[in-house]
């Protein structure tokens, strides 16, 4: 019996690892990338927030690890729904909290895709 995780096998054999987009797979709950370029530390993430029947509000917690060099500016966008409001309730260098609010309670179980962009200038030693 092979006890190694499948991702180790792909690494060991140099097989190409397929990346699945959150737009293609409704079971994928989050997809995050982070870059440092043009003087900014930038996180771009897509998060699927689930709502049960009758639920109108959900809380999204986004972890930023390692912490950003300074407090980021954050933009959010609802990707696949209308009449949904995103309210940022807390922004820290190590993460953020947002409330996702539907205009009316969900008629059935559903999910909403939220895009989050957080960017902070990279600090350069004292000048």
pLDDT-derived band at 127, boundaries 50, 70, 90: very low
What is the CATH T-level fold of the domain 25-121, as seen in this structure?
A: Immunoglobulin-like (2.60.40)
Q: Where are the domains of the chain?
A: 25-121
pTM of the model: 0.80
Q: 9-25: per-residue pLDDT in tens?
A: 344 444 555 667 888 88
pLDDT-derived band at 26, boundaries 50, 70, 90: confident
E-assigned strand segments in the chain: 30-37, 40-51, 57-63, 73-78, 84-92, 95-102, 110-121
Q: Residue 46 in contact with residue 78, Cβ under 8 Å? A: no
């Amino acid at each position: 019996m092979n006890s190694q995780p499948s991702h180790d096998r792909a690494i060991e054999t140099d097989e190409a690892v397929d990346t699945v987009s959150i737009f293609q797979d409704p079971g994928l709950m989050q997809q995050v990338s982070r870059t440092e370029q043009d003087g900014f530390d930038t996180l771009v993430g897509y998060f699927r927030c689930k709502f049960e029947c009758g639920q109108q509000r959900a809380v999204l917690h986004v972890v930023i690890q390692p912490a950003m060099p300074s407090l980021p500016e954050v933009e959010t966008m609802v990707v696949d729904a209308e009449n949904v409001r995103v309210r940022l309730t807390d922004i820290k260098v190590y993460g953020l909290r947002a409330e996702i609010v539907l205009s009316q309670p969900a008629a059935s179980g559903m999910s909403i895709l939220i895009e989050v962009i957080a960017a902070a200038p990279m600090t350069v030693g004292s000048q």
